[in-house]
Amino acid sequence: MLQNHSMKTPEIFQARYGARAARVGSSLPRADALAKVTGREPYACDFYHPDMLWLGVKRAGVPHARLRGIDVAAARELSGVAAVLTHDDVQGSNRQGVVRKDQPVLVDDKVRHAGDAVALVLAMDPASLARALELIRLDLDPLPGVFDLDQALAPGAPLVHGDNPQGNLMLAGQVTIGQGLDALDDCAVVVQEVFRLPRQEHAYLETEAGWALWDPDGGLTITASTQTPFRDMAEVAEALGLERDQVRIKAPYPGGAFGGKDGVSVQSLLGLAALAAPGVPVKIWLDRQESFIASPKRHPARLAYRLGAGQDGTLQALHAVLHYDTGPYDHLGGVVATLGLEHSGGAYVIPHVHLETYAVYTNNPVGGAFRGFGVPQVNAAMEGMMERLAGRLGMDPAKLRQKNILRPGSLTPVGVTLDCSVGLADCLEQAAGHRLWTRRRPWKAAAGPHQRRGVGLALALHGMGYGPVVPDVANAKIELSDQGRLVVYCGVVDMGQGNASTYLQVAGHLLNQDLAHLELVLPDTARTLPSGSSSASRTTFTYGRALLAAAGELKVRLLKRAADMLMVPVEEMTLVPGAVRHLTSGRELSLKDLAGFMAGEERVAVHSFRAPVSPQRPSDDPGLTLHGLPHRIFSFGAQLCGVEVDRLTGRVRVLSLVTFCDVGNVINRQVLEQQVQGGAAQGLGYALWERMRSREGRIIENDLSTYIIPTAGDLPDMELVVVPGFEPEGPFGMKGAGELPTDLPAAAVAAAVADACGAAPNRFPITPQVVLELLHQGAARNLA
């Protein structure tokens, strides 16, 4: 009756690529590509059913207020309305959150941002739903709010959470290494700057959506566009007062997520509504404006830096003070601020540092996870400091970096020994030898009338996984189906990065199968095993390692069983696509026949893997450790960017973008390129166009005609150079590559714009108006 999410590789794809061996290292098209581009992939938002009810949310509309009452009488009476629900209908804790459970499912005491959900309506059709939502009257007692960092931290400021012992400080952390601040006094040169980074919206194609069904005998099933099905299960159960085993979460491919669906968005609302309508499917699908208002964003940040070096350019000391506006809820703000702290010194050796990070509660839109996770902000700042230092010392920016970069065994800026593969020097060497860099002078001189060109260089590193405390675990499961196919039960979401397809490739490689004999089961808390969130550049690494072991175990079992049946030594058996073959006689046993002889359990192998963690503790602050400091494995990258700046309008055109990366060994070049291009596009958006400002807690750029994301016409051709690498801990030597590409462009574009204008930006996005100012500054500096 209800739509079944297809899990087979689509037939056309099978026909074209089915016979291709799924080998690690081959640049195979993704298994999900065809179904997605032909519109056949069923996303959570694609569910329809004749009896289904539409779920909608009454949102606060004001940024800070005490809730006195909710008048739902008129809405309830409207025909076409099945139910109107408020916090009174919530049986559980009514609280959710990843680290700190500080966010209500439905507001019960206080509104903390304009997008807070206050009441729900279930209706037969969207028109009745809209009318009923308008009829709900909220009795709100407005409270003064806090809308910027200084206001929030001022003594006597209104408190977003009255019970938070640190007032509006959600998380504060410090790391001091070497002589800390004092070392700045001994530096031959010190440069300083304050950088401001904007709020960024994910703008995924599929807005938050899903559907749910409450079967009083069978429990609650929620199908949602999510990155975190297993965590959702726990959160929904607790918030709604259910047992975990009463809640099942299914996670189809999200239509984009980028961190924005890391954590509960509509899941608890769906669950609550479904409980009120037993046996009837309920569906929610936010429109773009509501998605903008309700969803978490990349944290706006203010970053104050002082960097000191010797006359020869050797870095000596760094003081960085990071402030992240986390909005009204923790969400993942503490973890973001901590990852920012860990990366605030960039990809360099700096012996003396004093680093401070603050995540600050405000009544602004919620700050949360967004690909890069606090690093794009600090990387723009730290690389901006390196540009300023190079300028001050009159040094070539590549040479300055060469002197200071992290190498194998180096101590990172938070004083942690690098204990992973480190290919940064290769990235930098390739970048410095690239024609865009070596030939930059003639290239710049070729700029047309009214144009100025510039070339910028930036480096980055990105830590992988959850850090030392929260277990970064994946449980892989693989089964020989009775049809003779190998089924990978994928417990971690593929939000578009391609990890699910890579799992097939990994399993196929190990078991010597082609795509026609591989199958995927998408995350489903009832069928797949807990494998953590789709985040932190970890999905292929952690689940891949688990899958390697599970597939290896199954392989041994299949060979042994087949050998027993043919009464030959197991050493003479090998797997071939669809069968096990006896090498000396050529006899084969098809996998289907083999499956028929094996008991159900025997056909399944599972393996649990926990990603390695660093035993080092750069800070004795348990808060920072809990929030993920430090990481053990890092990916590294460099980027060259060539821009053309129009002197009359300030318009910046990115003409070329070359990314160099060390992400270990590459399992699938195509998938990696897609990751780098997509991440770079988001990073360029962040550098040049995207900003979601708010005024008194309300979003100004509230739709896609005012929130400017780049189109194909704004993006350059992109080139990718992968330096050879092998991470011994990674499956087939790989390291995560999902976030690194997002960390680079703001820094690289800023350096290129500075090169073109003669003055460096400290505010992002770098709008045309800012560029005209930079051109003025640059011209004034030239005169002086």
Partner 1 sequence: MTRVWLPSSLEELWPLWAENPGAALYAGGTDLLVRRRAGLVRPEALICLERVAELGRIEPDGPEVFLGAAASFSRLLSSPLVTEKYPVLAAALQRIGSPQVRHMGTLGGNLVTASPAGDSLPPLYTLDAVVELVAVGATRRVPIAEFIQGPGQVDLRPGELVSGVRLPATDGNLQHFEKVGSRAALAISIASLAVAGRLSDQGEVLQIKLAWGSVGPTVVCAPAAEAALQGKKLTPETLAAAGELAQQAASPIDDLRASREYRLALVKNLLLRLAP
Closer residue to partner 1, CB minimum distance, 16 or 450: 450
Q: Which of positions 447-506 make contact with partner 1 (CB under 8 A)?
A: 449-450
Cα 782 from chain centroid?
42
Query: Which range touches partner 1 (CB under 8 A), out of 106-114, 339-347, 586-594, 767-775?
Result: 767-775
Closer residue to partner 1, CB minimum distance, 450 or 781: 450
Q: Which of positions 211-270 make contact with partner 1 (CB under 8 A)?
A: none
Query: Which range touches partner 1 (CB under 8 A), out of 146-154, 452-460, 515-523, 644-652?
Result: 644-652
- At its nearest, how many Å lie between partner 1 and the CB of residue 507? 41
- At its nearest, how many Å lie between partner 1 and the CB of residue 708? 5
Q: Which of positions 645-674 make contact with partner 1 (CB under 8 A)?
A: 648-651
- At its nearest, how many Å lie between partner 1 and the CB of residue 442? 24
Closer residue to partner 1, CB minimum distance, 130 or 159: 130
Buried b (16+ CB within 10 A) or exposed e, 559-581: bebbbeebebeeeebebebbbbb
Closer residue to partner 1, CB minimum distance, 46 or 773: 773
Q: Please report, for residues 187, 308, 386, 405, 412, the alpha-carbon distance to residue 311 in angstroms, rounded to integers and kept in the order given.
A: 8, 10, 14, 17, 22
- At its nearest, how many Å lie between partner 1 and the CB of residue 643? 14
Q: How far, in Å, CA of 241 to CA of 233, rounded?
A: 12
- At its nearest, how many Å lie between partner 1 and the CB of residue 114? 17
Closer residue to partner 1, CB minimum distance, 556 or 700: 700
- Name 159's Cβ contacts closer than 8 Å, sequence gap at least 6: 167, 168
- At its nearest, how many Å lie between partner 1 and the CB of residue 711? 5
Closer residue to partner 1, CB minimum distance, 560 or 776: 776
Among 139, 769, 780, 781, binds partner 1 (CB under 8 A): 769
- At its nearest, how many Å lie between partner 1 and the CB of residue 301? 21
> Residue 81's beta-bridge partner residues?
123
Total residues contacting partner 1 (rule CB under 8 A)? 20
Query: Which range touches partner 1 (CB under 8 A), out of 219-227, 414-422, 698-706, 734-742?
Result: 698-706
Residue 205 engages partner 1 in binding (rule: CB under 8 A): no
- Name the residue with tokens 């940064």: 424
Annotate 250-272 with three-state secondary structure. Answer: ECCCCCCCCCCCCCCCCHHHHHH
Which string of DSSP letters, residue by residue, matches 479-545? EE-TTS-EEEE--S--SSSSHHHHHHHHHHHHHT-BGGGEEEE--BTTTS-----S-TT-IIIIIHH
- At its nearest, how many Å lie between partner 1 and the CB of residue 689? 6
Closer residue to partner 1, CB minimum distance, 460 or 687: 687
- At its nearest, how many Å lie between partner 1 and the CB of residue 125? 13
Rg of the chain, C-alpha, whole Å: 27
Q: Is 50 exposed, middle or buried (0-12, 13-18, 19+ CB in 10 A)?
A: exposed
- At its nearest, how many Å lie between partner 1 and the CB of residue 713? 3
First to last CA, the chain: 77
- 528 close to 456: Cβ distance less than 8 angstroms: no
Among 26, 768, 777, 779, binds partner 1 (CB under 8 A): 768
Task: Show the binding pattern over residues 701-740: x = contacts partner 1 (CB under 8 A), - = does not.
Answer: x---xx-x-xx-xx--------------------------
Task: Show the binding pattern over residues 402-441: x = contacts partner 1 (CB under 8 A), - = does not.
Answer: ----------------------------------------
- 387 close to 754: Cβ distance less than 8 angstroms: yes
Among 700, 724, 728, 781, binds partner 1 (CB under 8 A): 700
Q: Which of positions 124-153 make contact with partner 1 (CB under 8 A)?
A: none
- At its nearest, how many Å lie between partner 1 and the CB of residue 701? 7
Closer residue to partner 1, CB minimum distance, 80 or 578: 80
Closer residue to partner 1, CB minimum distance, 158 or 768: 768
Query: Which range touches partner 1 (CB under 8 A), out of 429-437, 491-499, 605-613, 699-707?
Result: 699-707
Give, as one character, the DSSP assignment of residue 366.
P
Q: Please report, for residues 151, 307, 348, 398, 402, the alpha-carbon distance to residue 395 in angstroms, rounded to integers and kept in the order given.
A: 40, 15, 17, 8, 11
Q: Which amino acid is located at 439 in the chain?
A: R
Q: Please report, for residues 135, 197, 514, 598, 606, the alpha-carbon distance to residue 560 in angstroms, rounded to integers and kept in the order given.
A: 68, 59, 21, 11, 18
Closer residue to partner 1, CB minimum distance, 553 or 773: 773
- Name 164's Cβ contacts closer than 8 Å, sequence gap at least 6: 170, 361
Of 424, 347, 439, the residue nearest 386 (C-alpha): 347
Of 486, 513, 503, 490, the residue nearest 595 (C-alpha): 486
Q: How far, in Å, CA of 674 to CA of 205, rounded?
A: 17
Task: Show the binding pattern over residues 594-633: x = contacts partner 1 (CB under 8 A), - = does not.
Answer: ----------------------------------------
Q: Which amino acid is located at 528 in the chain?
A: T
Closer residue to partner 1, CB minimum distance, 585 or 769: 769
- 413 close to 348: Cβ distance less than 8 angstroms: yes
Q: How far, in Å, CA of 147 to CA of 143, rounded?
A: 12
- 487 close to 508: Cβ distance less than 8 angstroms: no
- At its nearest, how many Å lie between partner 1 and the CB of residue 769? 4
Closer residue to partner 1, CB minimum distance, 74 or 709: 709
Q: 3-class DSSP state for residue 201?
A: coil
Closer residue to partner 1, CB minimum distance, 114 or 476: 114
Q: How far, in Å, CA of 523 to CA of 98, rounded?
A: 19
Among 689, 732, 753, 757, binds partner 1 (CB under 8 A): 689
Closer residue to partner 1, CB minimum distance, 173 or 683: 683
Among 222, 293, 772, 774, binds partner 1 (CB under 8 A): 772
Closer residue to partner 1, CB minimum distance, 200 or 525: 200
Closer residue to partner 1, CB minimum distance, 265 or 767: 767
Instruction: Supply angle C-alpha 492, 497, 498, rounded to 5.
Output: 75
- At its nearest, how many Å lie between partner 1 and the CB of residue 446? 19
Give, as one character, the DSSP assignment of residue 158.
P
160: number of Cβ within 10 Å: 28
- At its nearest, how many Å lie between partner 1 and the CB of residue 686? 14
Q: How far, in Å, CA of 651 to CA of 708, rounded?
A: 14
- At its nearest, how many Å lie between partner 1 and the CB of residue 704? 9
Of 73, 50, 192, the residue nearest 121 (C-alpha): 73
Tokens linked to 756: 């073109």
Closer residue to partner 1, CB minimum distance, 193 or 714: 714
Annotate 666-726 with three-state secondary structure. Answer: CCCHHHHHHHHHHHHHHHHHHHHCCCCCEECCEECCCCCCCCCCCCHHHCCCEEEEECCCC
Closer residue to partner 1, CB minimum distance, 239 or 772: 772
- At its nearest, how many Å lie between partner 1 and the CB of residue 694? 12
Query: For helices 267-275 and 229-240, what crossing angle results, to 10°?
Result: 50
What residues line the site for partner 1 (CB under 8 A)?
Answer: 449-450, 648-651, 689, 693, 700-701, 705-706, 708, 710-711, 713-714, 768-769, 772
